[in-house]
Structure 1
């Protein structure tokens, strides 16, 4: 019996529209989470500093960076602004 590789199984599953949509949604979420951390690092800020600039508590920043689906688009734009990212350069 020949076993399939992870890639082969994944490629087969990607032919299912529901699986593909779920996979792509998860990829977008992960990219956005990484982007938040990159913005913060590029600005040389800590989570506490971003929170202060946004007028929220630091644990909220941590939760947002770990679970991006809990953040509204408005909150993400405020996070970007706190990190010095202008609305014109937002690309998420």
Structure 2
């Protein structure tokens, strides 16, 4: 019977993020996760349910569920409407590089 050997997170990351493509994909996933967290934070800070946001946006509640599950499919216009429904004036600011 083989033994299970624990591997530290840093070692897993080193093994998996060994190409520029893998690093880019990981960064993109992290950005998507951050955007989803931001949307949820806006809604929760506004004290709104998904159904209330949907009503303010003029869409059905399942649309908000889909948006919050798969934010990568959302258009800029949809994100602005979601933000406005939560009382947020969303603007995009270019990062200084």
TM-score normalised by structure 2 residue count: 0.81
State which of 17, 24, 29 in structure 1 corresponds to 2:27. 24
The root-mean-square deviation of aligned C-alpha atoms, in Å, is: 1.9
**Which of the two has higher C-alpha Rg?**
2
Q: Given the alignment of the two structures, is residue 87 of structure 1 paired with residue 86 of structure 2, yes or no? A: no
1:1-92 → structure 2 map (5 Å cutoff): 4-88=7-91
Higher helix share: 1
In 2: Cα distance, 1:3 partner to 1:63 partner: 36
**Structure 1: unaligned runs, 5 residues or longer:** none
Structure 1 moving runs of 4+ over 6 Å: none
Equivalent residues, number: 89
**Structure 2: unaligned runs, 5 residues or longer:** none
TM-score normalised by structure 1 residue count: 0.85
Q: How far 1:66 moved relative to its partner?
A: 0.9
